[in-house]
Every structure is written in structure tokens, then in C-alpha cells.
């Protein structure tokens, strides 16, 4: 049986974090059920206002913080004693208010990717028990964060998630031309980051492997290679508890390996998704003259020049069921989805006797 996962002051029975999937794919229901089963459940902040009772078409940023807290409440209703956290992308325009809303809403863990969360300890200074977990794809990124946090705030990350850009879904922290070359070694990075914290600070910081983890063999491989736990997202989409539409889940069930590929996000980052409809995403915005109503990203080519497509509305459409013109993010394993299961069944398969 794998060891429990200790992140800061919180101990999860199983070494598993459910990855954050933006625009309400991992909202309160999925996060709550993962926490109830003994993992760490994450509510993703990005676009959480959309398809919520709080958004009226004009109050996006206000609705974001309200909807975020509401999903945390929903998760805690399902798992009152569970370890429930959040994923907040650094690239979001409302990164700081969302982090504050997360701690006010009782999040126990904050995971941050899509940029380096240099100011995160300052934003959470009044809540020292909240575990802070950056996502890094390189030893250098982890070093930059750790040295800044240590010098400015006298604290270190409570864990680091190492995301493999060759397999992970959604936004990826690597240049497009470097993805899929076969040069990236995820577990060398995992071990390198562990060694850095031990040698520089004498600290045993848990390092979590993310990307490409699907079944028990993948989990056991990650732990054998030196990871303290895994982060899984794609595997949880085809569950009854996932907050996505049935149509979104059906895209996973129907897709083939070759349907999964890379797109360039207007955020300036590559992303992995089901790409069979990528031309129709752009076409939708052209036909509907989609304005940038939200300004959800700090940097966005659609906001600035009208290039590419409006990512938050494309993700919102797919979450509601329009998978013809909506964006369906996924990891490289999405094609392995065969049926709708439950979170409990996945935990039983991964950790059962």
C-alpha cells in the first residue's frame, strides 16, 4: 500500500491529487468526491463564474470569487473532513482575488501553474496552514520559486507538482517546439527537484508527478521513480461525479489516439486537447463576432489582436455540451476512456487490495 501524502499540515490517505481542470470541469462535485475517497480534490479557478448563478453577463470578476467560494462549499458538503484545494493559474487576470477567495473559502491546498507564482506566500500570509504547491516542468523553475519564497517570505513550497509536457492535458509549461521531442525526462526532473531541496535547504519537499498517469501500473511506476505522489486529471473526466457535460465526456469515450494533439492557446502557451474541431472553434468566434467580454487572461492574443479564439468561451461551450465548437482539453491518455465509472471505482482500482 503506498504511503499517505503529506502536504504541509495536511495528510491525504492516498498519494493522489486530482488535477485542476478549468471552466467547471473540476468544480465542487468532483473535488468533493475525490477528497471523500482519500485523495486531494481540486476546484479549478479559471472561468468558474461561467455557467454559475452568480454571473449576469457583466460582472465576471465579482462572480468569479463568489462562484469559487460556492464550489468550495459544495465540495466540503460532500467531504467535510476532506483535503480540498484549488488550482489557480498565474496567467489569470484575477489571480490575486481568486487566491484570496480560495483561502477565505477554506481551501487547504493551493496549486498554481501557467506561470511562476512568485507572490503566493504574500497573498496567503494570514493563512499559514494553507499548503502552497507550485507546478514546475523544470528544476530551474522550482529553484527560482524556492529561492524567491525563501528570501522574501522565509518559506518553501509545501510540495511541487512536476508536469510532463509530453503527456499532460490543458495548458503546458513548455515551448511548442520542445514538446514531443523525447528529450524531456520527467522523473529525472522529479529526482532533481527533490535533491535540490534536500541539498540547499535540508528539506524533504514532496514532489508530485503529473501527466500520463492513468492506472495502477503508472502510479506504481511514478512512486518507484522517486515521486511522492501523482496528480491525475484526465482519468477523472469520465466519472459520474465530474462536473462536465455528458457530451464532453462522450468526446473522451469516442476519441482515438490520433485525435489528441496540441493547439496554441491565446494565453501564449501550448495546450493539449481533442483537436478534431479546432477550425470550428475559430470559426465560431468569427461568425458570432465574439467580443472579449471577460478579459480573463493577463496576456491574450484574442483580447489584444483578435487572433486565435476566445479560450474561456470555447471551454465554457464544451462544458455545457457544445463540443462541436467548444474546446475539449485532455491528456494523452483520454483515448483510453471506455465507460463512465465513479471516483470510488477509480480509487479501488488504484489502491485496492
Torsions phi, psi for 143 (to 5 deg): -65, -45
Greater confidence (285 vs 81) lies with 81
Provide the pLDDT for residue 7: 97
Structure pTM? 0.95
Residue 83: left if φ>0, alpha if ψ -120 to 50, beta else—which one?
beta
Q: What is the structure's pLDDT at 290?
A: 86
Rounded mean pLDDT, 261-276:
92
Choose among 120, 167, 165: nearest CA to 144.
Answer: 120
pLDDT of 268 reads 87
Residue 99 has pLDDT above 90, yes or no: yes
In this prediction, residue 152 carries a pLDDT of 97
Mean pLDDT of the chain: 95
The answer on pLDDT for 133 being more than 80 is yes
The two beta strands, 207-210 and 229-232, are parallel
Average pLDDT over residues 206-232: 97
Q: Summarize the confidence of residues 176-188 as an average pLDDT.
A: 92
With cell 514532496, the residue in question is 206
Band of pLDDT at residue 174, cut at 50, 70 and 90: confident
- Cα gap 223→304, rounded to integer Å: 43
Q: Which CATH architecture has domain 5-243+339-351?
A: Alpha-Beta Barrel (3.20)
Which residue spans of the chain are classified as CATH 3.20.20.70? Answer: 5-243+339-351
Residues whose CB falls within 8 Å of the CB of residue 34, separated by 6 or more in sequence, listed in order: 16, 18, 40, 41, 42, 236, 343
Confidence of residue 103 (pLDDT cuts 50, 70, 90): very high
Confidence of residue 1 (pLDDT cuts 50, 70, 90): confident
Find which of 28-37, 181-190, 271-280 is predicted with most confidence, using mean pLDDT.
28-37
User: Dihedrals φ, ψ of 178, to 5°?
Assistant: -95, -5
More confident residue, 84 or 305: 84
Three-point CA angle 239, 9, 99, nearest 5°: 65
Q: What is the mean pLDDT of residues 146-161?
A: 97
Q: Is the pLDDT of residue 300 over 80?
A: yes
Q: Per-residue confidence at 294, pLDDT binned at 50, 70, 90?
A: confident
Amino acid at each position: 500500500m503506498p504511503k499517505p501524502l503529506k502536504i504541509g499540515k495536511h495528510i491525504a490517505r492516498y498519494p493522489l491529487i486530482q488535477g485542476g481542470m478549468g471552466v467547471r470541469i473540476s468544480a465542487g462535485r468532483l473535488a468533493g468526491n475525490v477528497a471523500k475517497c482519500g485523495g486531494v480534490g481540486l476546484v479549478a479557478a479559471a472561468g468558474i463564474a461561467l455557467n454559475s448563478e452568480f454571473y449576469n453577463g457583466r460582472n465576471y470578476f465579482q462572480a468569479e470569487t463568489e462562484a469559487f467560494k460556492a464550489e468550495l462549499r459544495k465540495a466540503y458538503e460532500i467531504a467535510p473532513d476532506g483535503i480540498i484545494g484549488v488550482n489557480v493559474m498565474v496567467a489569470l487576470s484575477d489571480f490575486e482575488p481568486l487566491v484570496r477567495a480560495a483561502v477565505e473559502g477554506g481551501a487547504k491546498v493551493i496549486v498554481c501553474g501557467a506561470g511562476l507564482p512568485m507572490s503566493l506566500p504574500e497573498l496567503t500570509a494570514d493563512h499559514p496552514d494553507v499548503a502552497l504547491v507550485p507546478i514546475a516542468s523544470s528544476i530551474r523553475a522550482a529553484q527560482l520559486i524556492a529561492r524567491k519564497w525563501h528570501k522574501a517570505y522565509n518559506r518553501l513550497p509545501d510540495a511541487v507538482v512536476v508536469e510532463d509536457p509530453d503527456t499532460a492535458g490543458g495548458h503546458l509549461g513548455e515551448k511548442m517546439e520542445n514538446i514531443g521531442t523525447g528529450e524531456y525526462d520527467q522523473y529525472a526532473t522529479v529526482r532533481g527537484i527533490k535533491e535540490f531541496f534536500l541539498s540547499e535547504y535540508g528539506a524533504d519537499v514532496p514532489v508530485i508527478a503529473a501527466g500520463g498517469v492513468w492506472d495502477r501500473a503508472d502510479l506504481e511506476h511514478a512512486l518507484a521513480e522517486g515521486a511522492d505522489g501523482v496528480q491525475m486529471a484526465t482519468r477523472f473526466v469520465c466519472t459520474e461525479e465530474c462536473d462536465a457535460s455528458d457530451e464532453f465526456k462522450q468526446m473522451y469515450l469516442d476519441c482515438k489516439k490520433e485525435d489528441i494533439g496540441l493547439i496554441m492557446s491565446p494565453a501564449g502557451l501550448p495546450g493539449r486537447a481533442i483537436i478534431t474541431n479546432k477550425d470550428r472553434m475559430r470559426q465560431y468566434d468569427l461568425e458570432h463576432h465574439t467580443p472579449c467580454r471577460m478579459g480573463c487572461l493577463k496576456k491574450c492574443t484574442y483580447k489584444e489582436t483578435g487572433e486565435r479564439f476566445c479560450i474561456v468561451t470555447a471551454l465554457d461551450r464544451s462544458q455545457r455540451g457544445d463540443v462541436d465548437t467548444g474546446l475539449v482539453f485532455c491528456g494523452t491518455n483520454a483515448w483510453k476512456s471506455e465507460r463512465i465509472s465513479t471516483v470510488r471505482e477509480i480509487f479501488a482500482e488504484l489502491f485496492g487490495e
